[in-house]
């Protein structure tokens, strides 16, 4: 008997012995999925993997690539090890699987396994293995960040004995003078205790995934390269641990950024926007006409759109519409939330140009838009060409009918296609 479990697709209802409206029916060493809608096919993949099946061969009835990928998203598990043979050779599906598996695995690692240095190094190694000699990078760490003026990342990370790291990676398939077409910025908080604005235990448990933005932009670049990206892209990861110690930053601190903006810290648990601000300034220095940042930034975004969508923000409504259309075309739903110039001023401070939040639980009403407004202070040209993704759909605390527990990699396709279509 073959070790490969064959799965086929049928638009017909299952025989009555399998129950009314049964999603699956079974044969010797195989099963049939009785569905044609992506969500239901993904549920079938999840159900079969949950039954301990490790290796599947998708039959020729899986002619549609998107149906194959929906099955794969459900079939991928938290710990990995599963194998899928597609219904015919597909470089695209191979690329998606390779990248999604990496994004899930790095997101699911425990915090002790991925210091800021490890996260930055693994991201650089992953891209280098795919991009070869087209890739170069540098890392700035610890006190060197302070000396260079990257105040947000330095201060958020200085409470840990494992220093913060900024990765600046360049993918350049052209000549030395090739302009940068796009810049990607990722929040890489490898563990978030909340700092002195300490999280409750149940809220802290899953904070190993607070580097989901860094994983997502790395995965997006990797997938785009595997798809044949011929444009120059800058990748900036802002990696740190937000911990409590005698050296940790404190409420009431005033941070002065390289663009002159002063920020009062009123919540040390609103750290993601502080590190992203530095990354956005680096992205602006590259001259890239397209800047995308991605972060597990606010609980407010999850409250607004749930865990099936990523929240999308932009002052540039044209670019917002284009990225939203790409997300829909790639079957990675996003939903635009409000962002206007006045959102810059929704976190006022008596002591600085702005506070990093409002001094209340969750940052108060409109928290996701206010966080995006804070970030908009650090992009050039009044936000032209800049998109902020608040990744509400990149991680699940527990298994559900569609996803294994942990990272989902939902967003890599949107970022990859944005680089090729818009950069």
DSSP 3-state of 335: strand
Distance in angstroms (rounded) separating the CA atoms of residues 90 and 78: 24
Q: Which one of 273, 377, 410, 413 is the catalytic residue?
A: 273
Q: Token pair 């799965």 is at which residue?
A: 7
Counts of helices then strands in the chain (DSSP H, E): 13, 18
Within 10 A of 27 (CB to CB), how many other CB atoms are there? 9
Q: What is the DSSP string of 357-417?
A: S-SSGGGSTTHHHHHHHHHHTTSSGGGTTEEEEE-TTSEESS--SS--SEE--TTHHHHHH
Q: Token pair 């398939």 is at which residue?
A: 173
Q: What is the DSSP string of 39-102?
A: HHHHHHHHHHHHTT--EEEE-TT--SHHHHHHHHHHH--SS---EEE-SS--HHHHHHHHHHHH
Which one, of 105, 95, 108, lies nearest residue 69 by Cα? 95
Q: Which one of 47, 98, 101, 199 is the catalytic residue?
A: 199
Which helix (H) or strand (E) segment holds residue 188: the answer is strand 180-192
Which helix (H) or strand (E) segment holds residue 352: the answer is none
First to last CA, the chain: 50
Kindly state the tokens that stand for 155. 């201060």
Q: What is the DSSP string of 227-238?
A: TT--SEEEEEEE
Kindly state the tokens that stand for 212. 């989901």
Q: Is 273 noted as a catalytic residue in this protein? A: yes
Q: Is 39 noted as a catalytic residue in this protein? A: no
Dihedral sign from CA coordinates of 196, 197, 199, 200: positive
Kindly state the tokens that stand for 204. 């802290």
Q: Is 144 exposed, middle or buried (0-12, 13-18, 19+ CB in 10 A)?
A: middle
Distance in angstroms (rounded) separating the CA atoms of residues 197 and 277: 20
Residues with catalytic roles: 199, 273
């Amino acid at each position: 008997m073959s070790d490969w479990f064959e799965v086929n697709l049928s638009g017909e209802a299952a025989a009555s012995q399998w129950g009314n409206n049964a999603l699956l029916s079974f044969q010797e060493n195989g099963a049939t999925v009785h569905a044609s809608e992506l969500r239901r096919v993904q549920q079938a993949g999840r159900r079969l993997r949950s039954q301990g099946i490790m290796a599947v061969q998708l039959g020729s009835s899986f002619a549609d690539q998107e149906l194959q990928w929906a099955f794969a998203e459900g079939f991928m598990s938290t710990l990995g090890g599963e194998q899928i043979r597609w219904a015919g050779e597909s470089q695209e599906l191979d690329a998606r699987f390779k990248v999604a598996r990496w994004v899930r695995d790095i997101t699911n690692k425990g915090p002790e396994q991925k210091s800021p240095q490890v996260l930055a190094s693994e991201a650089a190694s992953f891209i280098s293995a795919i991009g070869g000699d087209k890739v170069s990078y540098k890392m700035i760490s610890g006190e060197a960040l302070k000396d260079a003026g990257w105040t947000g990342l330095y201060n958020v990370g200085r409470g840990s004995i494992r220093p913060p790291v900024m990765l600046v990676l360049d993918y350049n398939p052209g000549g030395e003078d090739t302009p940068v077409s796009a810049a990607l910025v990722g929040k890489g908080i490898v563990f978030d205790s909340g700092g002195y604005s300490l999280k409750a235990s149940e809220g802290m448990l899953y904070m190993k995934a607070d580097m989901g933005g860094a994983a997502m932009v790395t995965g997006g670049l990797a997938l785009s390269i595997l798809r044949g990206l011929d444009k120059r892209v800058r990748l900036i990861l802002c990696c740190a641990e937000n911990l409590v110690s005698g050296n940790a930053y404190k409420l009431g601190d005033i941070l002065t950024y390289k663009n002159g903006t002063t920020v009062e810290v009123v919540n040390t648990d609103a750290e993601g926007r502080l590190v992203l601000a530095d990354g956005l300034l680096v992205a602006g220095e590259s001259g890239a006409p397209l800047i995308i940042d991605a972060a597990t930034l606010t609980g407010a975004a999850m409250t607004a759109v749930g865990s099936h969508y990523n929240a999308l923000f932009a002052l540039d409504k044209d670019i917002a519409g284009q990225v939203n259309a790409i997300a829909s075309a790639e079957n990675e739903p996003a939903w635009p939330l409000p962002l206007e110039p006045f959102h810059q001023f929704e976190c006022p401070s008596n002591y600085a140009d702005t506070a990093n939040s409002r001094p209340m639980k969750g940052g108060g009403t409109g928290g996701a838009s206010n966080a995006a407004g804070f970030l908009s202070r650090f992009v050039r040209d009044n936000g032209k060409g800049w998109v902020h993704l608040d990744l509400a759909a990149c991680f699940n605390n527990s298994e559900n009918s569609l996803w294994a527990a942990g990272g989902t990699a939902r967003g890599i396709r949107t970022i990859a296609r944005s680089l090729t279509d818009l950069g």
